[in-house]
Structure 1
Amino acid sequence: MAEEGEDSKFNSPQPPPFLEVACKSLGKISRFAAGTRAGFAVSLINRKLEAGAPLVSHIEAVKDGEEPISFGPDAILVDYSNGWKLQTVTELDFGGVRKAESIRLIPTQAPNLQIFEGRRPAKIVPKSGVSFLYIAKILLAFVLIFVLGAIFTVALENLPRLILLINSYTN
């Protein structure tokens, strides 16, 4: 019986030792070990891109006539075989979507947005522009400073009269 168990180990279909991802921006195929996270693969592919080339946002499994399967940053890349191919999706594939609204930007409440690809932050994108509310707060602060200054000026100018008035009531 021990021999049957050993034979089944050798005769069972083995998964390929690597996965191939077709990169549109590079025009090449990148290979990754089985069990690689999609975010890590995207990070490595983006590092190989030339300046000005569209960044890869995520990886999809595609097959003619089927809805694509998207891999999130923490998903493990899987080869579905039977006509399914892994390929990259670039920011340009989202027609009309601005870079700041891209899928890669996750937190929207923080003043500095961190983009995580794999385990390390890839890029920090500051919020752009000065809002109307920010300018209004600055103007309100200046008005309050001038009002407070005027109150102290009037109080200090009238302090000698106030002291004389208090002294006249006490005497």
Structure 2
Amino acid sequence: MAEKSTLSPTSQTSSPLPRRRPTQRVQYLEVNCTSSGKTRRFAESTDAGSAVELINMRLKTEEVGLPSALYIEAVKDGEEPIVFGPTSTLVSYGDGWKLQTVTQTDLFRTEEIRHRDVRRMPKQAFGLGVLYPERRESKPRVSKPINLLYIFKIVFAFIFIFVLGAIFTLFLDYLPELILFVK
């Protein structure tokens, strides 16, 4: 027959192995705002564009005069940063990876550190037109003087528009007769 255990309930809890707490999944992500130095918390499924808008809204109301955030990136020492686009969902990549905002001044600072020409991104990137300022041309822009060929092109364009309008008007005038002829 089976032997019964005579251990009391208190002696069973004092086992030599420590009890593990159930691991709780993180319900939020922390984004470090480089402008203000504050950490903002966002829900797991927040898209990066919304997070940037909320951070910028807080910067405008609470800390006036600080540069606005352009986008969010995940950074880790010795690794290439991972940039989140406006429709990307914020994700934590684990140990050592931190989410932080990037501002206009941060972009210039990294360009100075790298000492290399950074490829320009199109203005439509991230839905923001301020990622990279327009580079100044060394030559000043000079408008060309108006000459006879330019005036001739303008007059020709007006004449062409009026001729095209007259053709459409005649076509519409004779359209009923054309329909009767086809029947």
TM superposition score normalised by structure 1: 0.51
Q: Deviations over 1:80-100 (max 9, x none)?
A: 121111111111122189xxx
**Which amino acid is 2:123 matched to?**
L
For residue 50 of structure 2, the aligned residue among 31, 37, 40 is 40
More strand by share: 1
Separation in structure 2 between the aligned mates of residue 104 and residue 52 of structure 1, nearest angstrom: 27
Equivalent position of 1:92 in the other structure: 105
Separation in structure 1 between the aligned mates of residue 59 and residue 122 of structure 2, nearest angstrom: 17
Equivalent position of 2:37 in the other structure: 27
Structure 1 position 12, deviation (Å): 7.2
**Which amino acid is 1:71 matched to?**
F
For residue 93 of structure 2, the aligned residue among 80, 83, 98 is 80
The alignment-based identity, stated in percent, is 46
- SS of residue paired to 2:108: coil
Separation in structure 2 between the aligned mates of residue 63 and residue 79 of structure 1, nearest angstrom: 12
Q: Deviations over 1:14-56 (max 9, x none)?
A: 4311000000112100000011000110111111114432121
Separation in structure 1 between the aligned mates of residue 23 and residue 38 of structure 2, nearest angstrom: 28
Q: Give the total of aligned pairs.
A: 112
Residues 24 and 87 of structure 1 are in contact (CA less than 8 Å); yes or no, is this contact kept in structure 2? yes
Structure 1 position 140, deviation (Å): 3.9
**Aligned Cα RMSD in Å?**
3.9
Separation in structure 1 between the aligned mates of residue 122 and residue 26 of structure 2, nearest angstrom: 29
TM superposition score normalised by structure 2: 0.48
Separation in structure 2 between the aligned mates of residue 104 and residue 28 of structure 1, nearest angstrom: 30
User: Structure 1 unaligned runs (5+)?
Assistant: 1-10, 108-114, 117-130, 149-171
**Which amino acid is 2:89 matched to?**
I
Residues 57 and 104 of structure 1 are in contact (CA less than 8 Å); yes or no, is this contact kept in structure 2? no
Separation in structure 1 between the aligned mates of residue 121 and residue 25 of structure 2, nearest angstrom: 31
User: Structure 2 unaligned runs (5+)?
Assistant: 1-20, 112-119, 129-141, 160-183
For residue 124 of structure 2, the aligned residue among 106, 112, 121 is 106
Separation in structure 2 between the aligned mates of residue 67 and residue 85 of structure 1, nearest angstrom: 12
